[in-house]
Structures are given as C-alpha cells and as structure tokens.
Amino acid sequence: MLKIVKASLVIAATLGVSGVAQADVSEALANICTIVQADDKGELRKKMRSVESDYRMKLKDYYSGISCSGNSLIRTALLNNAVEAGELLVKKMPKSDLQAPEADGKTLQAWVAENGLQDNPIAAVLNDRL
C-alpha cells in the first residue's frame, strides 16, 4: 500500500512539474523580441545560454515558436537593423533551418529579396552561411 502511495506522489509531482516547466520557458523567452530589437548581443547570448542550461533547449528548438509582431527573430533583427543580434542568430541556427520556409511559407532569402534588404549586413552573413 505504501509503495502505491509513493508511486502516485511521484507521478503527480512529475506531471505538475512538466506543466510548470512549459510556462517557465515561455516566461524565460518573454522579452527576447525586445532584446533583439535593441541589438543587445550580450543579453541575447545570456538569454540563449540560460534557456539552454535550464530547459535543455537550443535556439532551433524554440525559434519557430517565437513571433515578434508577426516576424521571426531574424526578420525582426533585419527590420530593426540589429546587426549584432541578427548575426548571432544566423550563426547559431542550423543551415537547414535557415533554408526552411518560415510561418508565411517564404524562406529568409526570399523574404530579404522581397523587402529589399539585400544590403543589410545580416543578409550578407545569411548568404555566406548558405
């Protein structure tokens, strides 16, 4: 009987923690758009490290789930001319993810060309990676 009670408590605790962990990840990433817009490379690097160490999630794991006024993090960096943060994001993303279509169905390169941002330094780093 005691084993059943202990097992039930362990299961309940595990389920409760997993629900809280999801909320904590969202909380941890809440201001990442502001950090990218401000072009604060140091703070962005610190945020990415803390999410990786606390939740074992790399940039590729949460990149597609973040929207900054309808744009991805790299698009936000391009629009705000946040060169330092944008270059860090491009360098940290796997090449395959950089070539994949985003939420609107356009790849980063197609979106850059469509918006006339080819002269942006972030676009140059993006083209070098691909």
Examine residue 47 and state whether it is found in any structural domain, yes or no.
Answer: yes
Examine residue 11 and state whether it is found in any structural domain, yes or no.
Answer: no
Q: What is the pTM of this model?
A: 0.75
| CA–CA separation, 105 and 101 (whole Å) | 5
Instruction: Please give the radius of gyration of the chain, using alpha carbons only, rounded to the nearest integer.
Output: 19
pLDDT tens digits, the chain, 130 residues: what are they? Answer: 444 544 444 444 444 444 444 557 777 777 888 888 998 999 999 988 988 888 888 888 888 888 888 888 888 998 998 999 999 999 998 888 888 888 888 888 888 888 888 888 988 888 888 8
User: What domain count does the chain have?
Assistant: 1
Examine residue 13 and state whether it is found in any structural domain, yes or no.
Answer: no
Examine residue 102 and state whether it is found in any structural domain, yes or no.
Answer: yes
Q: Which two tokens stand for residue 30?
A: 């809440």
What is the structure's pLDDT at 22? 52
| CA–CA separation, 29 and 66 (whole Å) | 8
Examine residue 114 and state whether it is found in any structural domain, yes or no.
Answer: yes
CATH classification at residue 44: 1.25.40
Examine residue 73 and state whether it is found in any structural domain, yes or no.
Answer: yes
Examine residue 72 and state whether it is found in any structural domain, yes or no.
Answer: yes
Range of the domain at 69: 22-129
Examine residue 40 and state whether it is found in any structural domain, yes or no.
Answer: yes
| CA–CA separation, 14 and 111 (whole Å) | 42
